[in-house]
């Protein structure tokens, strides 16, 4: 049985993994940033030396794309220096690292799905900080898994799906951009793939793209959320061509997931089917509370 450390346990992906591990084959320990601060190498060392972990799943990240444009130092401290610290400890203790990265390492000019080995060229400070973290991993470790994913959402934390649902509950009329095309990805689906990597044998290391199948715009995503949560409110969601933001975002960041499908033992859902599962889970939690 594999022993697995999960960093960033209080984020939406960390919380989703905690929800999923009840069905996983392995021993998992979850650490929030208060318990293990990846910007402090000794914090990682002190915890990892007390245990004999086979894997480290690093979900810890600075994820506020807008704030990163002005808070550059902290974005790089977490997403680059912090990742370097994790990689160095994993190397010293012979722990295999699974690290979560992003579609924002690409510039969005390709207009067809990005392959895992395509040239990176981030156009935001967030994307640059995440790419720097990837480079540290590749320089330090011989064996690693880097998972690039896109447009994550879940029943936990703050994310686009929950924001749209809150607006629906408040009966707000909102304008959502059609300027960017990508693939919404459920933390449930990503979490299952991460657990597959952590509990399987002989999966080749390297960079994997992971998303649902298909693509849409943020407007299309919002309309689908409204339709599946409360279809009566779908006309509250209107389109706007562009929306002014601090951070530049790739106009097109759909990921080619063929390298993941080649090694994964499950069929990946369409983004609409994965969204339906997450909304149903969200509604079931609402009924409990």
Give the separation between CA 117 and CA 207, rounded to whole angstroms.
8
Question: Which range marks the domain in which residue 64 is found?
Answer: 3-159+183-214+253-268
Whether 235 maps to a domain, the answer reads no
Q: Which residues, other chains included, contact 262 with Cβ-Cβ below 8 Å and sequence gap of 6+? A: none
Distance CA(20)–CA(113), nearest Å, equals: 29
State pLDDT tens for residues 194-232: 999 999 999 999 999 999 999 999 999 999 999 999 999
CA pair distance 156, 186, nearest whole angstrom? 11
pLDDT band of 159, cuts 50, 70, 90: very high
Q: Quick one: pLDDT band at residue 186, thresholds 50, 70, 90?
A: very high
pLDDT at 246 over 90: no
**What's the CA gap between 284 and 142, in Å, rounded?**
43
Instruction: Provide mean pLDDT across the span 54-77.
Output: 97
239 domain residue, yes or no: no
The answer to whether residue 40 is domain-embedded is yes
Q: How far apart are CA 33 and CA 9, in angstroms?
A: 8
Which DSSP string do the residues of 274-288 spell out, in sequence order? HHHHHHHHHHHHHHH
Name the band, by pLDDT with cuts 50, 70 and 90, for residue 287: low
| Arithmetic mean of pLDDT, 165-188 | 96
pLDDT of residue 244: 77
How many domains does one find in the chain?
1
- Do the domain assignments include residue 77? yes
Dig out the tokens for 152 from the structure: 């994550």
- Tokens for 198? 């952590």
Write down the pLDDT at residue 23.
75
Residue 231, domain member (yes or no)? no
> Which ranges constitute the DSSP H helices of the chain?
12-20, 41-48, 72-76, 83-93, 125-140, 160-169, 187-199, 218-230, 258-261, 271-288
- In this predicted structure, the answer to whether residue 1 has a pLDDT above a threshold of 60 is yes
How much is the pLDDT for 289? 45
Give residue 152's pLDDT: 98
Examine the pLDDT at 285 and tell me if it is beyond 90: no
Residue 111: its pLDDT value, please?
A: 87
Tell me how many degrees the CA angle 65-74-6 measures, rounded to the nearest 5: 80
In a domain, 276, yes or no: no
User: What's the longest Cα–Cα distance across the chain?
Assistant: 56
Taking only the tens place, the pLDDT of each residue in 129-145 is 999 999 999 999 999 99
Band (pLDDT 50/70/90 cuts) for residue 286 is confident
pLDDT exceeds 50 at position 238? yes
User: Is 237:222 a contact under the CB 8 Å cutoff?
Assistant: yes
Checking if the pLDDT of 258 tops 70, the result is yes
Question: 286 in a domain, yes or no?
Answer: no
- Residues paired with residue 185 on neighbouring β-strands, in sequence order: 152
Determine the pLDDT at residue 264: 96
Q: How far apart are the first and last CA of the chain?
A: 35
> Which tokens is 128 given?
């640059």
CB burial of residue 181 (10 Å; 0-12, 13-18, 19+): middle
169 within a domain of the structure (yes/no): no
Which residues share a beta bridge with 239?
176
Residue 123's CATH number: 3.40.50.720
Per-residue model confidence as pLDDT tens digits over 92-112: 999 999 999 999 999 999 989
Residue 160, pLDDT score: 97
Residue 271 clears pLDDT 90, i.e. is over it: yes
Average pLDDT, the chain: 95
Residue 44 pLDDT: 98
Region of 151 (left: φ > 0; alpha: ψ -120 to 50; beta: rest) is left
């Amino acid at each position: 049985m594999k022993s697995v450390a999960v960093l960033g346990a209080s984020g939406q992906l960390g919380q989703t993994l905690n929800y999923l591990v009840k069905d996983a084959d392995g021993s998992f320990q979850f650490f929030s940033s208060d318990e293990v601060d990846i910007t402090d190498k000794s914090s990682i060392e002190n915890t990892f030396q007390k245990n004999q972990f086979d894997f480290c799943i690093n979900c810890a990240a600075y994820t506020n794309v807008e704030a990163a444009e002005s808070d550059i130092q902290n974005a790089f401290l977490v997403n680059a220096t912090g990742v370097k610290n994790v990689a160095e400890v994993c190397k010293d203790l012979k722990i295999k690292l699974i690290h979560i990265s992003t579609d924002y390492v690409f510039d969005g000019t390709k207009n067809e799905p990005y392959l895992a080995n395509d040239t990176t060229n981030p156009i935001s400070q967030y994307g640059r900080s995440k790419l720097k973290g990837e480079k540290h991993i590749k320089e330090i470790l011989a064996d690693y898994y880097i998972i690039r994913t896109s447009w994550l959402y879940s029943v936990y934390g703050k994310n686009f799906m929950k924001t749209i649902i809150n607006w629906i509950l408040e009966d707000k009329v909102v304008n959502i951009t059609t300027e960017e095309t990508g693939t919404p990805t459920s933390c449930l689906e990503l979490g299952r793939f991460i657990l597959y990597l952590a509990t399987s044998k002989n999966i080749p290391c390297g960079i994997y793209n992971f998303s649902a199948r298909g693509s849409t715009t943020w407007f299309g995503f919002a309309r689908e959320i409204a339709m599946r949560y409360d279809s009566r409110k779908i006309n509250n969601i209107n389109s706007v061509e562009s929306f002014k933001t601090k951070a530049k975002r790739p106009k097109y960041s759909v990921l080619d997931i063929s390298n993941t499908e080649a090694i994964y033992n499950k069929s990946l859902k369409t983004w609409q089917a994965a969204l339906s599962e997450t909304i149903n889970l969200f509604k079931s939690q609402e009924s409990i509370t």
